[in-house]
Amino acid sequence: MKKNTTGRNLLYLVAGFTTVGGFLMDWNKTHLFNPKWTPHAKFHDAMTILLSTTLGAGSLYLLQKKNGDQQMQLQWATLLPAFFYGAQAGSFLFPGAKGMDAEFPDLIPQVGPLRLNEAPFSIFMLSVLAAGYTIEKKQRIQSYLY
């Protein structure tokens, strides 16, 4: 049976949030029920919600899987949510794309001049994934050597 380490717990945390985060963040008047949004924009939001749910659930599945190539499962359990947060951060590079703070600035927390919209959040989640993977991999190497 797998022992949950700090690294593994970080990966579980990100995978769990990725699974439900789209519903928590977008199932409201700022996104899916926004009367200003076109039906096609809502389609893309729904697609994003389902994609994050699928990637997060896949990661959770791989993290709890007890047989098979453990190293490959760890890599994919880390990569699946990373695909989502990488795409979310990269979306700011597209013409006219803005974060939620462009339409709802009062809903976005701010630390000094930095608005904590989707970009810093994505970078944070990618950092947590990297930390979780690194810690878990070191733990596995140490338990193998000793």
pLDDT tens by residue, 62-99: 999 999 999 999 999 999 999 999 999 999 999 999 98
Indicate whether 1 belongs to any domain: no
| Residue 37 DSSP label | S
Which of helix, strand or coil describes residue 90?
Answer: helix
| 140 vs 28 pLDDT, higher one | 28
Question: What pLDDT, on the 0 to 100 scale, is given for residue 27?
Answer: 95
Please choose, from the candidates 114, 122, 112, 52, the residue with its C-alpha nearest in 3D space to the C-alpha of residue 92: 122
Mean pLDDT of the chain: 92
Residue 112 located in a structural domain: yes
What pLDDT score does 68 carry?
Answer: 93
Bridge partners of 110? 115
Quote the Cα angle for 58-59-61, to 5°: 65
- Give this prediction's pTM: 0.90
* 121 found inside a domain: yes
Domain assignment present for residue 64? The answer is: yes
Domain that holds residue 89: 6-145
The total number of structural domains that make up the chain: 1
